[in-house]
A and B are shown apart, each in its own frame.
Chain A
Amino acid sequence: GNSVTQMEGPVTLSEEAFLTINCTYTATGYPSLFWYVQYPGEGLQLLLKATKADDKGSNKGFEATYRKETTSFHLEKGSVQVSDSAVYFCALSTDSWGKLQFGAGTQVVVTP
């Protein structure tokens, strides 16, 4: 079956540091890949997505590239802010009916 594995948190960083959150997946076919962000006490917001190999999704300074050869979709941001403190979820869906398979989430804490 499909599965998503992402690095465990919490990840604690200082403001302006570089952030990487690793995400790898197992899937049949050609999944679409997503990063969602969840701020404390809120629902999930779509951060970025990529639908085919070598696509790069980007939004709000975050980037992730769909790497089929390594089955990865790592999230990066060059300079984090305190407001980036949240839980980040990697997810995939397949073409069959769009079910989202989520990773366990990675909590990111950015300190001033």
Chain B
Amino acid sequence: DGGITQSPKYLFRKEGQNVTLSCEQNLNHDAMYWYRQDPGQGLRLIYYSQIVNDFQKGDIAEGYSVSREKKESFPLTVTSAQKNPTAFYLCASSLNRVDTQYFGPGTRLTVL
């Protein structure tokens, strides 16, 4: 089955801890994205990557970090510097930077 997988579906973290969210795609897409969704709001872009070993900050990158060592993987680390990390995190990918984006099922992060 082709698609985008995110794990885990639910994640709990204590304040002050870093946590890494997984995103994998087997669609052979070059571009990948991380979005954050808060209740009643649209999605906001955290980071994006147009190609392996390259990534750029989105609109709300502070307190987050990413890596793109493999084409199919784009993990997001939520660091302790992120002031309000509780949110729903969505990963997306597209064939190239101007093509349609397809989304994974999301990870709900709760900071206790």
Contacts and interface: CB of A to CB of B under 8 A. Distances in A.
Interface in A30-63: 34, 36, 41-46, 49
B107 to A, nearest CB: 10
Contact of B42 (A34, A43, A99, A102): A102
Contacts of B45: 99-100
B80 interface: no
Contacts of B4: 43
A103 B42 contact: yes
B31 interface: yes
Interface residues on B, range: 20 to 34
A44 B90 contact: yes
A104 B41 contact: yes
Q: Which secondary structure dominates chain A's binding surface?
A: strand
B85 interface: no
A45 B40 CA distance: 18
Contact of B98 (A36, A91, A95, A105): A95
A43 B101 contact: no
Contacts of A99: 45, 48, 58
B53 interface: no
B97 interface: yes
B57 to A, nearest CB: 12
A98 to B, nearest CB: 4
Interface in A67-106: 89, 91, 93, 95, 97-100, 102-105
B50 interface: yes
B43 interface: yes
Interface in B67-103: 90, 92, 94, 96-103
Given A89-B43, A99-B45, A104-B40, A49 B90 contact: no
Contacts of B92: 44
B41 A105 contact: yes
Interface of B: 4, 6, 31, 33, 40-45, 48, 50, 58, 90, 92, 94, 96-106
Interface of A: 4, 34, 36, 41-46, 49, 89, 91, 93, 95, 97-100, 102-105
